[in-house]
Structure formats: C-alpha cells, structure tokens
Amino acid sequence: MSGAGRRRASRPRESEIVAAARVHLEGLGYRVWVNPDGRDYFDLVARRGDEVGLVEAKVSGTTQVLAQALRRRAWGDWVAVVLATERAAWRLAHRTARTRAAPIGVWWARRGTGVTVVRDARVWPTSGPDDPFVSLRARFHRLLDSLERGDVPESVAWDGVAREVRRASGGRGFGEWRLDEPVGRS
C-alpha cells in the first residue's frame, strides 16, 4: 500500500465539529446559536423551553476545553464538550468520571456523520436555592427571551454577558478549581 493509502484521515476543523453539534441539538428540538458573541466565548448556545445548554468544541486540547466548560457553567443549565476523536472523548469521560467535572457532557463529532454522546450532560448539582450562579443564569435567560421575541437583533454582541462571571461564586475563582478535585470536597 502506498504512503498516501496508509495516511490517517485528517482531523476535522473546529467549525466542522461545531456544525455537527448544531445539527445534533437541532435534531433534539433545541434552538441553537453558534458563536453568538462573535468572540468565541460561547462556541454554541442551545435552548429548548427554559433549558439552556452550552457546548464547547476543540479539535485537540482536552484540558483546555474542560476548563472552558467549567467556566461556562455559570450560564447554562448544562454544559458539554465536543471533541474531534473518539479516543479523546472516551479518555476525557473516564478521567473526569468522579470529579467536579463529571456533569459535563462529553461528545465525539464524526466528520459528516454526526455526534456520538459518550457521556450525557447533567444539570449542575448546585442548581437550586444554593446555586451561586442563579442570578447570572436568570439574566442569560432574559437575553435569550429577548432574542427569541425579536426585541434585540440576532447580531447583538454577547461578550458583555460573560464579563460579569468573575468571582460569581463568592469564593474561589474559576481558575482555582482543580479539574481533578473529587466531588464533595471544597
């Protein structure tokens, strides 16, 4: 077999991964906004009724995408990451199974054939009256309501929303949460 015949298929671009996640979520009945802030803070925002989900995509760099997903938890009811390879997705799901990152969904996008859910995204365990992000999520929901009603143009910059998330927990900053920190320890 020639060298060209043995060459591994190239990884998809991040835009292809995001497109696959969009099709997947739209198939589940979500309204989807891709990179709505124009600055790549939110790769993808999905809404179905009152439920808001956020998806972060990466071709490589699972630690980086996991950190991004943890930071985005302030805005969505759930967060998922979508990766370019099956191996990376399974490794990330396994590595984070018993950590604070366990609620993050882990998906794998196959070029041209859709998304495989390796681990379902779950609602954050702090949701409810003790949720430190309840006011931020409510504000984000109001922005989405305004967009859906047509009160504000689809081209509105969302980057101002994200700036208010610093120290929203009232305690440790997002960068101070260890990704491998076991659940139940603070």
81-140 tens-digit pLDDT: 999 989 999 999 999 998 888 899 999 998 767 899 999 999 876 656 677 788 788 888
Q: Reduced to 3 states, what is the DSSP secondary structure of residue 9?
A: coil
Position 9 confidence tier, pLDDT thresholds 50, 70, 90: low
- Domain ranges, ordered by start, for the chain: 10-163
Q: What is the DSSP letter of 43?
A: S
**139-178 per-position pLDDT tens digit:** 888 888 888 888 877 766 665 555 544 444 444 444 444 4
Rounded distance, CA 67 to CA 176, Å?
11
Which CATH number, 1.10.3210, 3.40.390, 3.30.40, 3.40.1350, labels domain 10-163? 3.40.1350
CB half-sphere exposure, 145, CA atoms < 13 A? 7
Nearest to 80 by CA among 104, 48, 44, 49: 104
